Amino acid sequence: RQRIILDVDTGVDDSLALLYLLASPDAEIMGIASTAGNVPAAQVAINNLAWLELARAPEIEVTLGAAEPLEIPLRTTEDTHGPHGVGYAELPAPTRRISDRSAARMWVDLVRRHPGELIGLCTGPLTNLALALREEPELPRLLRRLVIMGGAFDHPGNTTPTNEWNIHVDPEAAKIVFDAFSAAPPDRRPLVCALDITETIEMRPAHLIRLAERAGSHPIEKVSPTDPPAARSAASNPIIRYLTDAVRFYFDFHHGYDLGYLAHMHDPFAAAVALDPALARTRPATVDVELTGTLTRGATIADRAGMWGRPPNADIVVGTDPVRFFDRMIARIGDH
Ligand code: BDR
Ligand code: CA
């Protein structure tokens, strides 16, 4: 089994990433870092605990991350993920408590205890990982692999014309992380799932219905833009019920931006790649983060031709098979 540290800002698609890992027999989550991003860190931690209890995996440690990005005030996006981060769903209040150690402390402790073994998966802003790197500069060498959902390269941003959300929330942290890997050997370079690839992973109502069917959940409801927005799912399986309410909000959000009645599965795709890099075709690049541009601050720039004279510090995912990804996600979460 592959051992994972999950750093998330749960979040609708983060929720699916978490459930994907919990449903994967080849994965063992060693700890969860709750990162401020889509919603405040304290709400993220509550969401993580609630999903763990619903999935009957309550023993996994959930730590709380920094309340604010490194140098700027926190910006959250309830418009995208709903008032509590899980769309229209109202998850049952968790009974278990958040860990006493901080998220950054957990990163450092875990990588020191399991050198060369752990896969780090970041599906939110990189604040906690940057804080952990300040304390343990050897972290890039102590990890087996790092997978990041973040950035936009030859693709418009989803937050500003050039910014992807996770990088936008804490650009200083993102720069610290990419800089920390500047001397990493090729097999330790972070795998980066940017919008260029994650916006090709389009979940549609038909996927949700297939997932419910696979989970044996009845009745299978209609999911369409004509549904009353806050209608509660009637699915019999509680996880499917909450997921449907969460994802329906995410569909409505994308629909509101004229993207179609669909939702981009940024974070579960990154989770799938973390467990199975063969799902992704990659290209090495030197990635840096713009911190000063008046129009472009928070943009991720990739040098693929060595023009900066700096070695690659990332492998950017440039191709995948979305059908294969959805088949796998539906099978895993549906059978769990
Ligand atoms: C990223 O932003 C968040 O809103 C999503 O959860 C995803 O991690 C996509 O830009
Ligand atoms: Ca996220």
Report ipTM (2 d.p.). Answer: 0.99
Distance 309 CA to ligand 1 centre (A): 31
Distance 159 CA to ligand 1 centre (A): 10
Is the CB–ligand 1 distance for residue 11 below 6 Å?
yes
Ligand 1 atom at minimal distance to the Cα of residue 164: 10
CB atoms within 10 A of CB 183: 12
Looking up tokens 């009353």 gives: 228
- Please tell me the predicted confidence (pLDDT) of residue 107: 98
What is the band of 222 on the pLDDT scale with cuts at 50, 70, 90? low
Ligand 1 atom at minimal distance to the Cα of residue 266: 7
> Does the pLDDT value for residue 21 go beyond 70?
yes
Q: Minimum mean pLDDT among 107-116, 176-185, 227-236: which range?
A: 227-236
Is the CB–ligand 1 distance for residue 38 below 6 Å?
yes
In the chain, what percentage of residues exceed pLDDT 70? 97
Ligand 1 atom at minimal distance to the Cα of residue 267: 8
Quote the tokens at residue 233.
């799912």
> Does the pLDDT value for residue 319 go beyond 90?
yes
Chain centroid to CA 210: 23
Mean pLDDT of 259-278: 96
Ligand 1 atom at minimal distance to the Cα of residue 81: 4
Is the CB–ligand 1 distance for residue 196 below 6 Å?
no
User: Which is it for the CA torsion 212, 214, 216, 219, positive or negative?
Assistant: positive
E strand or H helix at 8:
strand 2-8
Between these two residues, 205 and 120, which has the higher pLDDT value? 120
Is the CB–ligand 1 distance for residue 14 below 6 Å?
yes
- Please tell me the predicted confidence (pLDDT) of residue 58: 81
Mean pLDDT of 260-279: 97
Ligand 1 atom at minimal distance to the Cα of residue 195: 10
State how far the alpha carbon of 39 is from the alpha carbons of 45, 81, 82, 230, 255, in Å. 10, 8, 9, 20, 21
In terms of Cβ atoms closer than 10 Å to its own Cβ (0-12, 13-18, 19+), residue 58 is middle
> Does the pLDDT value for residue 30 go beyond 80?
yes
Is the CB–ligand 1 distance for residue 63 below 6 Å?
no
> Does the pLDDT value for residue 312 go beyond 60?
yes
Contacts of 83 (CB under 8 A, 6+ apart): none
Pocket test for ligand 1, best of 14, 19, 75 (most atoms within 8 A of CB): 14
Crossing angle of helices 12-22 and 322-335, rounded to 10°? 70
> Does the pLDDT value for residue 247 go beyond 70?
yes
Mean pLDDT of 186-212: 95
- Please tell me the predicted confidence (pLDDT) of residue 218: 73
Distance 246 CA to ligand 1 centre (A): 14
**Average pLDDT score, the chain:** 95
> Does the pLDDT value for residue 239 go beyond 80?
yes
Distance 175 CA to ligand 1 centre (A): 18
Alpha-carbon span 249 to 227, nearest angstrom = 11
User: Which is it for the CA torsion 328, 330, 335, 336, positive or negative?
Assistant: positive
Length of the chain: 336
Distance 9 CA to ligand 2 centre (A): 5
Backbone torsions φ then ψ of 15, nearest 5 degrees: -60, -45
Q: Minimum mean pLDDT among 66-70, 158-162, 183-187, 327-331: which range?
A: 183-187
What is the band of 235 on the pLDDT scale with cuts at 50, 70, 90? confident
Is the CB–ligand 1 distance for residue 7 below 6 Å?
no
What is the band of 260 on the pLDDT scale with cuts at 50, 70, 90? confident
- Please tell me the predicted confidence (pLDDT) of residue 233: 76
> Does the pLDDT value for residue 220 go beyond 70?
no
- Please tell me the predicted confidence (pLDDT) of residue 257: 87
Distance 46 CA to ligand 1 centre (A): 18
Q: pTM, whole model, 2 decimals?
A: 0.97
Is the CB–ligand 1 distance for residue 165 below 6 Å?
yes
> Does the pLDDT value for residue 253 go beyond 80?
yes
Distance 139 CA to ligand 1 centre (A): 24
Quote the tokens at residue 101.
């150690």
Ligand 1 atom at minimal distance to the Cα of residue 11: 6
Widest CA span in the chain: 59
Alpha-carbon span 71 to 171, nearest angstrom = 9
Q: What is the CA radius of gyration of the chain?
A: 18
